[in-house]
Amino acid sequence: MVKMKVVISNPPWPGEGYGVRTNVRWPHRRKDKALAFPIYLAYTSSLLKQNKFEVYAIDAVEKEFSIQRFIDEIRKINPSFILLEVSTPSIEYDLETAQEIKKNLPNTVIALCGPHATYFHKDILEKYKFIDIIIRNEFEYTTLNLCKSLKDKHKLNEVDGISFREKNKIIINKDADLIKNLDDLPLPDRESFKIENYQQAFYCGKKTALMISSKGCPYQCSFCIWPQVLNGHKHRTRSVKSVVNEIEYLIKNYNVDEIFFDDDTFAISKERIEEFCNEILKRNIKIPWVCMGRVNIINQEIIQLMKKAGCTQIFYGFESGSDKILKAVNKGITKEEMINAVRLTQKDGLVASGSFMFGLPDEDKETVKETINFAKKLHADFVQFTLAAPFPGTKFYEEAKSLDLLEIKSWSDLDGTKGAIIRTKYLSKKDLEGILRKAYISYYTSPTIILINLKKLILRREFKRLFRGIKSVIARILFYN
């Protein structure tokens, strides 16, 4: 029996620097080639292979393919179906790529996935006749079910979670259920997507593997796109044994020397953290790991157990140093909780890092100063600053649109290199110009922060992280407006 050929891809994103799209909550361009491992594409690839499809998984950004080079590779494969993971700032290139595929391979079924395609599914299908199908929300099992339907020539209206065109009519099927049992997913495809090609700036290991142990986030932050458009607000977890089994597998088969958990929030349940850490200790696994956390979940007992089990760093979403902004975006945390979490994290020798953003609708000159000054006061080990990006599908986008605050001429304006693409209620676009550069320079030239970073030079492992971090910060300062 001839297998159906399927291409699963992170398509090209031409232009200066590198377009970071797949498996990132904020698609953007950056100067340095620090790409996130495409975990959801990798799961989709493995799932299709497990079901006997002939799968070609291609990360065209990692391979630095032009659109033409990508098309040449697709033509060699001549697939029956191709999935393109698209994003808001890259959508113009994504559509150009899809159009060229259809010109060269008119019989290939082209499907788009990702938050932008999910939000604009009907508009895209109505306007662009070369797009055949949109896969909405989570796409792993929906892609499998779609490919099975295409292979067996079943009607597409039986596939939940897709929108498609039939005789010039747009059909919108009901939403697919969120994946209930994450343990059912096979291990992600790390043969097609090589671990060593995805080493981000804050990694310490020579070979760090990105993993997820859960999906979905129960919190309601207005700016965060994944819970609102991709994975939902229902928090679903893998079994602890499944997660630790994968860690052992990665160490044994790929010589991995560090793990990064890219869950929306890894440290969300004290009971689950305890179970996970105890399983690591029970099996005597010795590997450092990094995770995302929330400042209102952490306590000293949990921190000590995490350190004992190998945790070296917790990344927090601080977002703002203004209580007014935190309340307005429904963050659900306080500045006191941030300070407490950072102090507790650092007390036992773990790295406390996190991010702040500027330009949310209620931002004014005073809240900008508050955030920069608070960041210095916080004394976190590493801090990232970003400009708020109103991605379609978020409450933030709808609010900014309703208040006529958007300064977007093209979707590519959201790639992070154009400076502010939104006014606030109190600040003009000009007021926000150069704010990231000012924030980074003010923060990292602060005597207190310089002293903190100098102390890290004593530790060889932290020197590597610090060096990578400095390179990343300089790249941001030089690349972003």
Q: Establish if 263 belongs to a structural domain.
A: yes
* Least confident segment among 230-234, 405-409, 439-443: 439-443
Q: How far is CA 466 from CA 154, 383, 443, 474, in A?
A: 54, 11, 15, 12
Range of the domain at 96: 5-172
pLDDT tens-digit map of 259-310: 999 998 887 888 999 999 999 999 999 999 999 999 998 899 999 999 999 9
Q: 352: left (phi > 0), else alpha (psi -120 to 50), else beta?
A: beta
Helices (H), 35-184: 39-50, 67-77, 91-104, 115-119, 121-127, 140-151
Which of these, 181, 180, 182, 134, lies nearest to 159 by C-alpha position? 134
Cβ neighbours of 186 (radius 10 Å): 15
- The last residue of a domain, from among 172, 207, 242: 172
Q: Establish if 194 belongs to a structural domain.
A: no
The secondary element (H helix, E strand) that includes residue 258 is strand 258-261
336 CB burial (10 A radius; 0-12, 13-18, 19+): exposed
For the residues 368-373, what does the mean pLDDT come to?
Answer: 96
Shared domain check, 249 and 159: no
Q: Are 223 and 388 in contact (CB under 8 A)?
A: yes
pLDDT at 265: 82
pLDDT tens-digit map of 159-195: 999 999 998 899 999 999 999 999 999 999 999 999 9
Shared domain check, 225 and 132: no
Which of these, 176, 181, 166, 142, lies nearest to 47 by C-alpha position? 142
Q: Establish if 309 belongs to a structural domain.
A: yes
Indicate the SS3 state at residue 192: coil
- pLDDT higher than 60, residue 69: yes
Indicate the SS3 state at residue 133: strand
- pLDDT higher than 80, residue 477: no
**How many domains is the chain partitioned into structurally?**
2
Shared domain check, 106 and 210: no
pLDDT at 269: 84
Q: How confident is the model at residue 470 (pLDDT cuts 50, 70, 90)?
A: low
The secondary element (H helix, E strand) that includes residue 454 is helix 447-456
Shared domain check, 220 and 116: no
Query: What are 292's strand-pairing partners?
Result: 315
> Which domain CATH number covers 435?
3.80.30.20
Shared domain check, 102 and 211: no
Distance CA 126, CA 128 (A): 6
Q: Are 11 and 71 in contact (CB under 8 A)?
A: no
Distance CA 268, CA 89 (A): 30
Q: How confident is the model at residue 480 (pLDDT cuts 50, 70, 90)?
A: low
> Which domain CATH number covers 142?
3.40.50.2300
Shared domain check, 80 and 11: yes
Shared domain check, 373 and 282: yes
- pLDDT higher than 70, residue 472: no
pLDDT tens-digit map of 30-51: 988 999 999 999 999 999 999 9
Shared domain check, 203 and 140: no
* Least confident segment among 66-70, 102-106, 463-467: 463-467
Q: Establish if 326 belongs to a structural domain.
A: yes
Give me the percent of the chain exceeding a pLDDT of 70.
Answer: 94
pLDDT at 463: 52
Which of these, 323, 417, 342, lies nearest to 382 by C-alpha position? 342
Q: Establish if 188 belongs to a structural domain.
A: no
* Least confident segment among 211-215, 247-251, 329-333, 418-422: 418-422
Q: Are 378 and 318 in contact (CB under 8 A)?
A: yes
- The last residue of a domain, from among 172, 189, 219: 172
pLDDT at 193: 98
- Which residues does 254 contact at the CB level (< 8 Å), separation at least 6? 190, 195, 207, 209
Integer-rounded Cα Rg, in Å, for the chain is 22
Q: Establish if 346 belongs to a structural domain.
A: yes
Shared domain check, 458 and 309: yes
Shared domain check, 97 and 239: no
For the residues 239-248, what does the mean pLDDT come to?
Answer: 98
Helices (H), 283-364: 300-308, 323-328, 335-347
Q: Are 407 and 389 in contact (CB under 8 A)?
A: no
Distance CA 459, CA 349 (A): 11
Q: Establish if 465 belongs to a structural domain.
A: yes
Query: What are 330's strand-pairing partners?
Result: none
Shared domain check, 395 and 271: yes
- pLDDT higher than 90, residue 229: yes
- pLDDT higher than 70, residue 469: no
Q: How confident is the model at residue 456 (pLDDT cuts 50, 70, 90)?
A: low
- The last residue of a domain, from among 122, 137, 172: 172
- pLDDT higher than 80, residue 466: no
Distance CA 19, CA 224 (A): 19
Shared domain check, 210 and 125: no
pLDDT at 467: 52
Q: Establish if 193 belongs to a structural domain.
A: no
